[in-house]
Amino acid sequence: MQDGARPNNTEKVFRFLDEYFGNRVIALNYPKFTGTGMDWPPYDSTPCDYFLWGALKDTVYGNHPSTLDELDSAICVACNSISIETLKDVMSNLILRLRRLIFSNGEHCVLIAKTA
């Protein structure tokens, strides 16, 4: 998924994922289709959803990588540039988000991100 686009969860996509990745897939409705893997956690509750993609996007695409090797290198550089303090803040925020999710019994709730 990129920029909030809905995931492509057609039967053809699930068959492809199941063939190549088996039970290692985390995707919305994937377990219902295959009986394996994990369903995508609700409400952007994972650090990759609420922090990582946004934090890396500008850095990774700032130099306009034109090959997969350049893209791979840009992702590595961007990930390595994230400070330990920032990661600690992200993990503290994850704990708060999970507590809110538990408190609401998995129902929709407003998750407020703590800013550094």
pTM for this entry:
0.52
Q: What is the pLDDT of residue 43?
A: 53
Q: What is the pLDDT of residue 109?
A: 53
Q: What is the pLDDT of residue 102?
A: 77
Q: What is the pLDDT of residue 15?
A: 82
Ranges of residues in the chain with a pLDDT under 50 are 1, 111, 113-116
Q: What is the pLDDT of residue 116?
A: 46
Q: What is the pLDDT of residue 42?
A: 59
Could you tell me which of 85, 89, 88, 63 has the C-alpha nearest to residue 74?
63
Could you tell me which of 26, 49, 63 has the C-alpha nearest to residue 113?
49
Contact 43, 109 (CB under 8 A): yes
Separation between Cα atoms, residue 33 and residue 18, nearest integer Å:
10
Could you tell me which of 60, 70, 50, 24 has the C-alpha nearest to residue 110?
50
Separation between Cα atoms, residue 7 and residue 30, nearest integer Å:
11
